[in-house]
Amino acid sequence: MSRPFRFAVAGAGAIAGFYLDYCQRRADKEGIVLAGACDPVPGRADTLTAKYGGRAYASMEAVCADPDLDAVVILAPPPQHAPLAKQALQAGKHVLLEKPLAQSVDDGRTLVNLAAGSGLTLACSPFILLGDRQQRVKKLLAGGALGRPVLAVADQFHGALEMWHAGAAQFYRDSRGPLFDVGPYPLSLLIDWFGPVASVSASGGTLIPDRIGLDGKPFRVDVLDFVSAHLRFRSGVLARVDISNVDRGSNLHGLEIHGTAGSLSLSRLMDFNAEMTIAHGNSHDWVEREGDPSAKPANGVDWSAGVYELARAVRERRAPANSASLGLRVLQTVFAIEEAARSGKHIAIEAFS
């Protein structure tokens, strides 16, 4: 057995519990060990580590100074992603960070270059492309099951955050709206499957600027709370992606891919156990079916998957499936979509190798 892979969490808020719950549930822990957590709000790291193990570090500096630590998993708010990742990489730690990779394409590129130059592994959420069903779609596409893919349609109707998130007002501001917050889910899948995007056009707006928080207090939103984007991939595939924090309830959580010889539908694009159906040739009938049609949207996400993929990638000396380079392509694309939606122009995306 190789030595344990020890990671710490930076940011002991809402999502940290999901990550660590799922890490704890794993039957085979593969020698992956939680070393501890840090959070600037007093008591949060103590509460998290009391439940899940490891130590409460006094600060991110203390995390970075721990010589026995292999990696840092960054679960802080988006404006902190790039600065914390940079700090961890400069201290020689591998990094998994929540989406989006950074607050600008330049900052994202700096991180990717820093990791590459230091021989460290940098992985970026979302990791839903690691899901069983999502991996199956990727294999089917690569194997030509649909002929040549020509069109993809994806819906990310994520609901108004103030329906459930106590800090919704701040979340809208910090996350820059659903395009940056949840747009990376469909975009990561599509870019993983079809390669980089060449250009985008989009429309969108702030459709519900005046909102009421869970505490009953009104607040204002000025980010784009709905975007409909059209993407042209370098591979020739066209896609339409809709992303929303407007809906109260929605059945729009899935995606479809249409090729020259078949169509594929995934009932919920985020779920590892979503239902997948395929129609072949000239038939309208969904003749192949697999997955769980009863699973609710966003159920079935294994929140430990990114941590385990990071550890395996480091051990196997390979890039993680959810690499920071993919995160950078996603970041380029969301910024281009935002510019297209605000300007009404068609925006080209710079290629990088």
Ligand X SMILES: NC(=O)c1ccc[n+]([C@@H]2O[C@H](COP(=O)([O-])OP(=O)(O)OC[C@H]3O[C@@H](n4cnc5c(N)ncnc54)[C@H](O)[C@@H]3O)[C@@H](O)[C@H]2O)c1
Q: Which is nearer to ligand X, 53 or 167 (CB)?
A: 167
Identify the sign of the CA torsion 60, 63, 65, 70. Answer: negative
Residue with tokens 């156990």: 273
Among 98, 155, 302, 338, binds ligand X (CB under 6 A): 98
With contacts defined by CB under 6 A, name the span among 39-47, 114-122, 128-136, 246-254 that binds ligand X: 39-47
Range 241-270, binding ligand X (CB under 6 A): none
The minimum distance between CB 87 and ligand X, in angstroms, equals 9
- Judged by CB under 6 A, the chain residues 148 through 167 that form the site for ligand X are 167
How many amino acids of this chain bind ligand X (CB under 6 A)?
Answer: 22
Nearer to ligand X, 278 or 324 (CB): 324
Residue nearer to ligand X on the CB measure, 38 or 229 = 38
For ligand X, give the closer residue by CB, 217 or 234.
217
Secondary structure in 3-state letters for 246-295 = CCCCCCCCCEEEEECCEEEEECCCCCCCCCEEEEECCCCCCCEEECCCCC
Residue for token pair 């809906």: 247
Minimum CB distance to ligand X, residue 14 (Å) = 4
| Token code pair at residue 153 | 């349609």
Q: Of 12, 23, 64, 276, which one interacts with ligand X (CB under 6 A)?
A: 12
Q: How far is the CB of 126 from ligand X (least distance, A)?
A: 8
How distant is the alpha carbon of residue 171 from its chain centre? 16
Q: What binding mask, one character per residue, do residues 118-147 give for ligand X by CB under 6 A, x or -?
A: ------------------------------
Neighbour-count burial of 334, counting CB atoms closer than 10 A to its CB (0-12 exposed, 13-18 middle, 19+ buried): buried
Count of all residues that appear for the chain in the document: 353
Provide the mask over 180-219, with x wherever binding to ligand X is found by CB under 6 A and - wherever it is not: -x--------------------------------------
Nearer to ligand X, 76 or 223 (CB): 76
Tokens (6 digits) for 304: 């430990």
C-beta closer to ligand X: residue 149 or 183: 183
Q: At its nearest, how many Å lie between ligand X and the CB of residue 142?
A: 28
Site string for ligand X, 66-95 (x = CB under 6 A): ---------xxxx-x---x-----------
> Rounded to an integer, what distance in angstroms lies between the CA atom of residue 76 and that of residue 59?
13
| Cα 38 versus chain centre, distance | 22
Q: Does 60 bind ligand X (CB under 6 A)?
A: yes
The reply on whether position 341 binds ligand X by CB under 6 A is no
Closer CB to ligand X, residue 14 or residue 58? 14
Residue 36 as a binder of ligand X (CB under 6 A): the answer is no
**Amino acid making up residue 309:** E
> 80 with 107: CB under 8 angstroms?
no
Q: Which residues bind ligand X (CB under 6 A)?
A: 10-15, 38-41, 44, 60, 75-78, 80, 84, 98, 167, 175, 181
